[in-house]
A = this chain, B = another copy of it.
Amino acid sequence: MIITLKKGASDAQVENLKALLRTKNIEPRVWKGELETVIGCVGDIAHLDPGLIEALEVVEHVQRIQEPFKAANRKFHPDDSVIECGAGAKVGGGNFAVIAGPCSVEGEEQIVGVAKDVKAAGATMLRGGAFKPRTSPYAFQGMGAEGLRLLSLAKKETGLPIVTELMDFKDIELFNDVDVIQIGARNMQNFNLLREVGAYTKKPILLKRGMSATLQELLMSAEYIMASGNPNVILCERGIRTFETALRNTLDLGVVTVLHRLSHLPVVVDPSHATGHSWMVDSVAVAATAIGADGLIIEVHNDPPHAKCDGAQSQTPAMFAKTMDRVRAVRAVI
């Protein structure tokens, strides 16, 4: 951490600040320039709130140098994490996951049918929403507990591990048969929920990046889960919000490479939410594979025009099978 002092800081003020830092087990180094005095802080500063220092009257600016995340930081864990997702499915460290299925579970025939289709095409896990966060209170909100029961049926039929979203910790006991718990983009900074799933379970948590979350905020949310006791976090890029309105979101594909440099956690990409259009999912899925993502999460529906949500971005099983062929071809050469 680098602390820049205001022009005209007195020697007494500098000494006071040094004393304050030492009470926090931080060793300050001071040097004076023409216009500013600067103090460098050496030591374990992950627990020091920069805002506290910035609030001091003598301080002009505070700049962190070390990242504030530790458990998620590749500096302290150089090897890729490999997350076990059940039934032999893994993600990270060279293991590529393909999570496919409908936006929401709508009935037994639908979910079992789609599960068989995506398995045949090469999916390694089944997704399907039972609890759905919707912008409008008047929109379909998911089948709830019944949706989870139908997902279990589909798992029994196909052997595919289940990935589904938890919106509220009070529903956690319904998730016993769920293999990977998704935390949605809108809950990425629902810190209570992060702490609760981190403390309650060691099941993998698929953590989606919030619509305007920086990479550091995403990693700090992973840190909440990990610091609570669950190291099995899978990061997910699903598009961010920008000025561009041509697509539902702006896919920020470069983050895959940056996250791999900053963290040992696996990163999967969601081309369905990132684009909002089924005709774009294929090319984006292939590009995400090429850039080195550890997996994909793709919405597939047996009958998109009649889907209860997100039909516009859902592939049909036939489209998905073609995408899988191209994904495999690219995986083979990179």
Please tell me if the beta carbons of B305 and A280 are within 8 angstroms of each other in the complex: no
The chain B residue sitting closest to A198, CB to CB, is B137
Please tell me if the beta carbons of B309 and A49 are within 8 angstroms of each other in the complex: yes
A228 contacts partner chain B, Cβ-Cβ < 8 Å: yes
State the copy count for this chain.
4
Within 8 A of B (CB), among A245-299: 245-247, 250-258, 261, 274-275, 278-280, 283-284, 286-292
Q: What is the distance, in angstroms, from A2's C-beta to the closest C-beta of chain B?
A: 5
The chain B residue sitting closest to A249, CB to CB, is B254
Choose, from A80-88, A93-101, A216-224, the stretch at the interface: A216-224
A23 contacts partner chain B, Cβ-Cβ < 8 Å: no
Q: What is the distance, in angstroms, from A244's C-beta to the closest C-beta of chain B?
A: 6
Choose, from A55-63, A106-114, A118-126, the stretch at the interface: A55-63
Contacts of A35 in B (CB 8 A): 66, 75
Per-position contact with B for A203-245: 1 when CB-CB < 8 Å, else 0?
0000000011011110010011001100000000000111111
Choose, from A146-154, A156-164, A172-180, A325-333, the stretch at the interface: A325-333
Q: Which of B40, B243, B252, B283 contacts A40 (CB 8 A)?
A: B40
Please tell me if the beta carbons of B211 and A212 are within 8 angstroms of each other in the complex: yes
Docked pose: A36 CA to B66 CA in angstroms: 8
Per-position contact with B for A20-55: 1 when CB-CB < 8 Å, else 0?
000000000101111110101011001101011011
Docked pose: A304 CA to B58 CA in angstroms: 13
Docked pose: A172 CA to B60 CA in angstroms: 40
Contacts of A247 in B (CB 8 A): 254, 258
A307 contacts partner chain B, Cβ-Cβ < 8 Å: yes
Please tell me if the beta carbons of A283 and B274 are within 8 angstroms of each other in the complex: no
A322 contacts partner chain B, Cβ-Cβ < 8 Å: no
Per-position contact with B for A287-325: 1 when CB-CB < 8 Å, else 0?
111111000000000001111111110100000000000
Q: Which of B224, B257, B280, B307 contacts A283 (CB 8 A)?
A: B257
Q: Which of B29, B280, B304 contacts A257 (CB 8 A)?
A: B280
Please tell me if the beta carbons of A63 and B212 are within 8 angstroms of each other in the complex: no
Q: A38-B2, A241-B243 are in contact. Are A137 and B227 (CB under 8 A)?
A: yes
Q: Knowing that A35-B66, A251-B252, A283-B292 touch, tell me 7 more A-B residue pairs with CB under 8 angstroms.
A: A31-B40, A54-B312, A167-B192, A247-B254, A247-B258, A287-B288, A290-B291
